[in-house]
Structure 1
Amino acid sequence: MNATTLPTVRPEDEQLGITKNFAYGLQHVLTMYGGIIAVPLIIGSAAGLKPAEIGTLIAASLFMGGVATLVQTLGFKYVGAKLPIVQGVSFAGVATMLAIINTGGSLPMVFGAVMVASLLGLILSPFFSRLLRFFPPVVTGSVITMIGLSLIPVSIRWIMGGNPKAPTWGDPGNVGLALATLFVILLLNMTRNPLVRRLAILIAMIIGTLIAAMFGMVDFSKVGTGAFFALPNIFQFGMPVFDMAAIISMSIVTLVIMTETTADILAVGEIVGTPVDERRVGDGLRADMLSSAIAPMFGSFMQTAFAQNVGLVAMTGIKSRFVVATAGAILVTLGLLPVLGRVVASIPMPVLGGAGIILFGSVAVSGIRTLAKVDYNNQNNLIIVATAISIGLIPVVNNEFYEHFPSWVKTLFHSGISSTCITAILLNILFNSKFFTKEKNSVTDSQEMSTTYQ
């Protein structure tokens, strides 16, 4: 009698236990904390909110980021990619939301635009996921590489202090603290203990914060101010206002966010080594858009996958979605317990910047690994990669490049990720599609990313 073959457990379904889930999950939260609070800080300040109201916006963003992460990682039928993807407030919509406010709009008008645009994205999700055939390695490799490269300036800003208006901006002490954090990470990764290597980021952040405290570079004074526990209120900033111009603007942003989320899902699938097909991408996009549609009810904004956490998955090798689900639970807790959020917020930006150098670089390396699968004997592929990455670097190198272009151009190309994605897809169709050329496509049939998702 033939021995029965036991079903193989997918890497993302690995169970690590409560203790490891919490430790690795906290590491994810610390990695993306600065990014998730940035948007409510910017929008709240532009809307003229009081500090306490901005704090409420931040708490709502933490809460909804956690809810969205749980939906994305655990999922239910037709919703959730069930991959280790951390969700949070998207930075792609900041310029558009600021434009709505600065042209006489209000925060409720922003919320109304986000709700309608997200519902539109939810309707488009199954159709958008069918574009997966336009994402062969020559495209995904370029996009994943650009995700890493476009995040490097973020870590540089963190290293310099995070706030250009602060008197300590670019202070050598900030740079020294970041380098100390980076050195600890490198040192820990030289050990033979796999657990220490996987927790290197978390340990380095704690050590970096302690070093900063020794030199008076940490401010814990605000930890005790404000509420200890607070439940989110529905429509606490007023009922949503639906303005057609604002809705159209946010709908364009939604398409950009869906493109970036698709790239992030493919990137995580590549790093984890698990099949990603149209259905899985569609489930991931539905989780994104459903969370985004609900977010304004609690005072938050459009949700998306956080690229910096893709780098953490790549560096640590921890592929379990339950680790990230734990991170989601921590975010929900931070949203309900503002005091814990204030503790985490006390971590100096240079400490985050030192960790970001390796984290974001790891994403770029994952993209380079994908690009290694491309056949460069076909000159077309070399042109696609070179052009897509170069165009993607334009807004990274100079964010004023598209300043005098029409608003829809700025919306589509303000991000290096979306710039690279759009360029790579169009060039791949032009050079490798059977409609335009008879040459062999950029990948063989065995490399196509249309594998079955069970």
Structure 2
Amino acid sequence: MSDLKNTNSDLIFELEDKPPFHHAIVAAITHLLAIFVPMITPALIVGASLQLSTETITYLVSMVMIASGIGTWLQVNRYGCVGSGLLSIQSVNFSFVTVMIAIGSSMRQDGIDEDLILSSLLGVSFVGAFLVVGSSFILPYLRRIVTPTVTGVVVLMIGLSLIKVGIIDFGGGMAAKSSGTFGNYENIGLGLLVLIVVIGFNCCRNPLLRMGGIAIGLMVGYITALFLGMVDFSKLQNVPLVTIPAPFKYGFSFSFHNFLVVGTIYLLSVLESVGNITATAMVSNRPIEGEEYQSRLKGGVLADGIVSVIASALGSLPLTNFAQNNGVIQMTGVASRHVGRVIAVILVILGLFPAIGRFFTTIPSPVLGGAMTLMFSMIAIAGIRIIISNGFRRRETLIVATSLGLGLGVSYSPEIFQVLPPSLYVLVENPICAGGLTAIIMSILLPQDYRQEELLRASFNDTEQVDAPMIQPHHE
């Protein structure tokens, strides 16, 4: 395959560019504003669902930030074969939330105490992460399966799935749905204000204003929310000043039955990671085929596995490449991996001093939704561009259409496949997994008909030769 490179000319800072410090800070803060709440939300959801103590939940959130900082540093610096060398931000994999809650709730019903529940969840996460490490070494042998069409479908499904999250926040979030205020004038107006500000600044020719468009939009929305009385500062109460990481703080225990479920999700997360890395490469104006791409893919997935090993040992949920930052890259025009170093340092600091990080949780949902809805749509568009880059013939049309139909169908009615055994149902209830697995299966079952392509090409060439004299200008 030849190297395909995105000819995107909208980047202000390319991958290897070193932005001035103030530009790097603005870009880093923009990324953090976009990803911080989704980054810590899984730990909050799991903690609340399993009825963990406030102290435990606070520790889990801090470890998420520290592990994300370590993972981001590994990804952007690329030590040897570890890391993608792209502006890849590490964060909690949402795919594990449902599984962790299901396993933990079952243990809670059996009367098992909090520490043992966490030691079991983190224990299987620790061992399962080595599956991702191992899978990174076989990726080069899967080139005929993990094609641009397959990865494009995964990126497209990631974007489309995240749009639902963004639009719910746009209307006020899940809390607003519970209170009956979802979609009221205040929430919609606040979301639209942020959306308009982000679009307006993104159209500016001034690089600094364009880079800060998302951050400015969020700040304008936050200040407006303050005047409207929509900011809740109660989340800042009873937060410890400093949190010190303690490896295996809750002990270590292992269940092979739980490992089968968690391990399966880990393997599926590899497909999601491949899609995210491909999207990051495309929006960063790097090849999405060829040796460089395969090297980045292997390094990125390997880093995912190593970081999840570290995260599970510290007390964090498993991590993966975060899709949200691809939308930020497109909106800001900053793809410099050196910005990732600034992000990594800030994340570790936020983890050590949880009060600083907790402040970000006071941002109202409509403010976040106004920016995220646009960014998540950008991710879906990146997926479409990846699909088109491989050509869009009949075979690719069938793969994309079927994968999109089943993937979106599952997102509308997740219970449709509930008749399947639980181990299989876990695989297909997630729209990204359902769409990605469909694309892989169809890519295998519908092999490329090279002979037919050659006949079509020959027929086209013959037609050109026959028609050529007819379009030549007449000279006397």
Give distance in 2, aligned partners of 1:412 and 1:129. Answer: 24
Question: Aligned partners of 2:413, 2:372: CA distance in 1, in Å?
Answer: 21
CA distance in 2, matches of 1:428, 1:234: 42
Alignment partner of 1:165: what SS? Answer: helix
1:254-293 superposed matches below 5 A: 254-275=266-287, 276-293=292-309
Which digits, 9 at most, give the CA deviation of each residue in 1:7-51, with x for residues without a partner?
xxx931211132211111111111111211121112112322122
2: CA distance between counterparts of 1:224 and 1:286?
39
Larger radius of gyration: 2
The answer to whether structure 1 residue 22 and structure 2 residue 37 are counterparts is no
The equivalent position to 1:132 in structure 2, one of 143, 157, 168, is: 143
Are 1:220 and 2:220 an aligned pair? no
Q: C-alpha distance in 1, partners of 2:26/2:94? A: 27
- Cα separation, partners in 2 of 1:325 and 1:405, compared to 1, 3 Å: farther
Where does residue 239 of structure 1 map in the other structure?
251
Residue 359 of structure 1 is aligned with which of 375, 378, 387? 375
- Residues 372, 259 of structure 1: alpha-carbon distance in 2 compared, 3 angstrom cutoff: closer
Greater shift, 330-339 or 394-403, is seen at 394-403
Q: CA offset at residue 191 of structure 1? A: 2.7
Displacement of 1:170 in angstroms is 3.6
The Cα of 1:352 is off from its aligned counterpart by 0.7
Matches within 5 A, 1:105-184: 106-163=117-174, 164-166=177-179, 168-184=181-197
Letter in 1 for 2:436: C
Structure 1 unaligned runs (5+)? 1-9, 445-454
Q: Give the gaps of 5 or more residues in structure 2.
A: 1-12, 109-116, 458-476
Residue 44 of structure 2: aligned partner = 41
1:408 maps onto 2:408 in alignment: no
If the length of structure 1 is used for normalisation, what is the TM-score? 0.89
Cα drift, residue 129 of structure 1: 4.3
In the TM superposition, residue 52 of structure 1 has moved relative to its aligned partner by 2.5
Contact 2:194 2:221 in 1 (8 A): yes
Counterpart amino acid of 2:247? I
- How far off its partner does 1:353 sit? 0.4
Any conservation in 2 of the 1:132–1:277 contact (CA below 8 Å)?
no
Name 2:432's counterpart in structure 1: 417
**Aligned partners of 1:134 and 1:425 also within 8 Å:** yes
> Judging changes above 3 Å, is the alpha-carbon distance between structure 1 residues 297 and 374 closer, same or farther for their aligned structure 2 residues?
closer
Q: Tell me how far apart the structure 1 counterparts of residues 140 and 23 of structure 2 sit (CA, whole Å).
A: 33
Q: Tell me the CA shift for residue 358 of structure 1.
A: 1.0
- Equivalent residues in 2 for 1:322-333, closer than 5 Å: 322-333=338-349
Q: CA deviation at 1:304?
A: 0.5
SS at match of 2:351: helix
Superposition TM-score, scaled by structure 2 size:
0.85
Counterparts in 2 of 1:317-356, with a 5 A limit? 317-356=333-372
Distance change >3 Å, CA 214–CA 271, structure 1 → 2: same
Q: CA deviation at 1:267?
A: 1.2
Q: Structure 1 residues 323 and 386, CA, compared in 2 at 3 Å: closer, same or farther?
A: same
Is contact 2:123–2:254 with CA below 8 Å preserved after alignment?
A: yes
Q: Could you tell me which of 412, 417, 423 is aligned with 1:397?
A: 412
1:384 aligns with 2:399: yes
Percent identity over the alignment? 32
Distance 1:196 1:427, change over 3 A: same
CA contact (8 A) 2:129 2:306 kept: yes
Deviation at 1:438, TM superposition (A): 4.3
- What is the DSSP-based 3-state SS (H/G/I as helix, E as strand, rest coil) of the residue aligned with 1:88? strand
Match of 2:463 in 1: none
| Larger helix share, 1 or 2 | 2
Deviation at 1:167, TM superposition (A): 5.1
Name the CA distance, whole Å, in 2 between partners of 1:46 and 1:259: 27
Match of 2:263 in 1: 251
| Structure 1 counterpart of 2:244, one-letter code | L
Aligned CA RMSD, in angstroms, stands at: 2.1
- Quote how far apart the aligned CAs of 1:344 are: 1.3
